[in-house]
Amino acid sequence: MQMKLLGFKPVDFTNRDGDRVTGNTLYVGYLEDGVTGYVTEKFFVGNRIEMPKVLSVNDNLDISFNQKGKILSVKKA
């Protein structure tokens, strides 16, 4: 699904079980019928998922999901 990158934030913390969680939160927008402007969402992308080395606000991204809605890949469109 093609989305516009509106912002991003690095994530690095230790959860309740003592496991370290690292990755990025992506803030994205996309066009949808019946909506004026963009629908916006945020997604967590763990470090196990390959992402573009350089991201900039307003980049167009192609984000792929599995059947359960988890992100499989993030690529520049």
pLDDT, position 8: 97
pLDDT, position 22: 95
**pLDDT tens, residue by residue, 7-33:** 999 999 999 999 999 999 999 999 999
Please report, in angstroms and rounded to a whole number, the separation of the first and last CA atoms in the chain.
10
Nearest to 23 by CA among 42, 43, 5, 47: 47
Looking at this protein, which amino acid is placed at residue 56? S
**pLDDT tens, residue by residue, 49-75:** 999 999 999 999 999 999 999 999 999
Q: Are strands 39-46 and 60-65 parallel, antiparallel or unpaired?
A: unpaired
Q: How crowded is the C-beta side of 10, counted as CA atoms within 13 Å?
A: 2
